[in-house]
Structure 1
Amino acid sequence: MEDGKFNEINMKKANVSENDILAKLREANAYDLNKVHAVIFETTGGISVLHGDNFTKNKNFILKDVQHSKL
């Protein structure tokens, strides 16, 4: 997920369903999809949810080693 949109191609590659992502969004208390900046499949196998109003302030630092995909 990036900027509130599901990335079906990456989800399929990672063998992650929409329900898996929704569960992680609930865990992160990310109820407004417009404030979800990214859902990241970590190398550890975990899923991180980046959301909130102040994300852009540290975006480059937080995402420096993350591979991005076009939606």
Structure 2
Amino acid sequence: HEYIAIEEHSPQDSNEISLEIGDVIEFKANLWNGSFDGVNRRTAKRGLLPSYKVEEKWRIVDFPVLEKIFR
């Protein structure tokens, strides 16, 4: 999955990564404590980040209209 940063984040610990609004994050794991493990595609750094500062990136794909297929 990919996520997009919706808030900036400055690392509070050496195992956290920084975020700027709009950064694309490659999701690696949910730690179930309010943190994700991920890779910031802009900086190529991997680490922890607050899950509430990102939202899932949706991929919109065009599909043919079913009416045309079944006629």
Give the TM-score normalised by structure 1.
Answer: 0.28
Between Structure 1 and Structure 2, the one with more strand by share is: 2
